[in-house]
Amino acid sequence: MLRTTITGSLPKPVWLAEPGILFAPWRVPPDSLAEAQDDAVRLALADQDETGIDVVTDGEQRRRHYIWGFLAGLTGVDLARLGRRQSRGGRYAKETEVPRIVGELARPRPVLVDAVRFARRHTRRPIKVTLPGPLTIVDSTVDEHGRTDEKTLAMRFAALLNAEARDLAAAGADVVQFDEPTFNVYVDKVEAWGVEALERCAEGVEATTAVHICYGYGIPRVLAWKTRNTEWGHYRTTLPLLARSHIHQVSVELAASAVDPAVVAALNGKDVMAGVIDVGTEEVETPETVAERIRRVLPHVAPERLYPCTDCGLVPRSRAAARGKLHALAAGAALVRQELRTPAARPAS
Ligand code: ZN
């Protein structure tokens, strides 16, 4: 019970990419990049092994960005000459630069299978692999080719993601997670076709399937929105839809936002990855703080189904802070696990 996991990304070593920023360019020349990424993955796995994280990832050390890392493996997408559009409902920025869809979308070969095989060889722990979800991809690209409606485009991406997810499971991924931060932005689209597209991604995948929803990375423009926002009612619509879906696990941000942990009660029957680590600050939580956050979720999820997790990716953080947070996550979960085994140890308050 209370098995710990992270959303996906960890900061990259300073010799691999500039720290503290998203989309950081590689600092290693192309002919040494693969070897350098292998080394960084070993370190990411070692950090999780040593701190005692139960379900690990490769820290997304091979991608500059969680969406682009998958798109780069497709044909029909231009990641060099970018377009501009409003994304995330304009919540965090008026416009952002996004990849352009310029041809027929296809996946000539698996994108992350070699990465999974490498991780599988270097840890005994269960491995999670993350892919961007279709609604989020559609919101993060401009379609200059098909100029079709969003649902049709999302279902096209979903078919490609499904083929990839099946391959990842066959290569040894224990969990395949689809990252859908836009589920917290476009509630109407989630209802109309977002969950349908997500389920298409997970169809026939022989691994545990998961969806991560959040308010984005812990970077200043996102934090500014989060501290201003007071309306979190979208979960009343989206979580029951996910509860009725075939997805096994749902990841919800609870540490940094003011979301009431009781919302996860709507996920009855699912595994819940509860965000108990704030990814927007360098300040490392104490294990006791993490334990208290876990205790606040426990009335709403059985401990066997509760996975203490980070709110979102740790990529913008320093490695020291990230390592500290991994340790706090594992230690905080261990405290609560101990209390559940010996109820007398539970604090009175
Ligand atoms: Zn996230």
pLDDT in tens, 52-62: 999 999 999 99
What's the gap in Å between 128 CA and the centre of ligand 1? 15
What's the gap in Å between 349 CA and the centre of ligand 1? 31
> What's residue 227's pLDDT?
84
pLDDT in tens, 244-262: 999 999 999 999 988 999 9
pLDDT in tens, 157-193: 999 999 999 999 999 999 999 999 999 999 999 999 9
The chain-wide mean pLDDT, for the chain, equals: 95
Segment 199-214 mean pLDDT: 97
SS (H, E, C) the chain: CCCCECCCCCCCCCCCECCCCCCCCECCCHHHHHHHHHHHHHHHHHHHHHHCCCEECCCCCCCCCCCHHHHCCCEEEEEEEEEEECCHHHCCCCCEEEEEEEEEEECCCCCCHHHHHHHHHHCCCCEEEEEECHHHHHCCCEECCCCCCHHHHHHHHHHHHHHHHHHHHHCCCCEEEEECHHHHCCHHHHHHHHHHHHHHHHCCCCCEEEEEECCCCCCHHHHHHHHHCCCCCCHHHHHHHHHCCCCCEEEECCCCCCCCHHHHHHHCCCEEEEEEECCCCCCCCCHHHHHHHHHHHHHHCCHHHEEEEECCCCCCCCHHHHHHHHHHHHHHHHHHHHHHHCHHHCCCC
> What's residue 57's pLDDT?
98
> What's residue 245's pLDDT?
97
Domains and CATH numbers, the chain: 30-340 (3.20.20.210)
Dihedral, CA atoms, 33, 75, 133, 172, nearest 10 degrees? -60
Q: Report whether pLDDT(348) > 80.
A: no
What's the gap in Å between 345 CA and the centre of ligand 1? 34
> What's residue 120's pLDDT?
97
What's the gap in Å between 268 CA and the centre of ligand 1? 22
Q: Report whether pLDDT(106) > 60.
A: yes
255-259: long-range contacts at Cβ-Cβ below 8 A with a sequence spacing of 24 or more? Answer: 255/293, 255/310, 255/311, 256/215, 256/218, 256/223, 256/226, 256/280, 256/281, 256/311, 257/215, 257/226, 257/229, 257/232, 257/311, 258/229, 258/230, 258/232, 259/232, 259/235
What's the gap in Å between 264 CA and the centre of ligand 1? 17
Question: Considering only CA atoms, which of 126, 294, 291 is closest in space to residue 210?
Answer: 126
Bridge partners of 208? 175
- Residue 347 binned pLDDT confidence (cut-offs 50, 70, 90): low
What's the gap in Å between 343 CA and the centre of ligand 1? 33
- Residue 346 binned pLDDT confidence (cut-offs 50, 70, 90): low
> What's residue 125's pLDDT?
97
What's the gap in Å between 76 CA and the centre of ligand 1? 26
Q: Report whether pLDDT(228) > 90.
A: no
What's the gap in Å between 248 CA and the centre of ligand 1? 18
Weakest-pLDDT range from 140-154, 222-236, 304-318: 222-236
Segment 197-217 mean pLDDT: 96
> What's residue 343's pLDDT?
73
- Alpha-carbon span 228 to 130, nearest angstrom: 29
Q: Report whether pLDDT(349) > 80.
A: no
> What's residue 316's pLDDT?
93
> What's residue 218's pLDDT?
81
pLDDT in tens, 15-49: 999 998 888 999 999 999 999 999 999 999 999 99
pLDDT in tens, 82-98: 999 999 888 888 999 99
What's the gap in Å between 9 CA and the centre of ligand 1? 9
> What's residue 216's pLDDT?
84
Segment 220-235 mean pLDDT: 86
Residues within 5 A (CB) of ion ligand 1: 214, 312
What's the gap in Å between 107 CA and the centre of ligand 1? 25
Give the number of other CB atoms < 10 A from CB of residue 57.
27
Q: Which pTM value belongs to this model?
A: 0.95
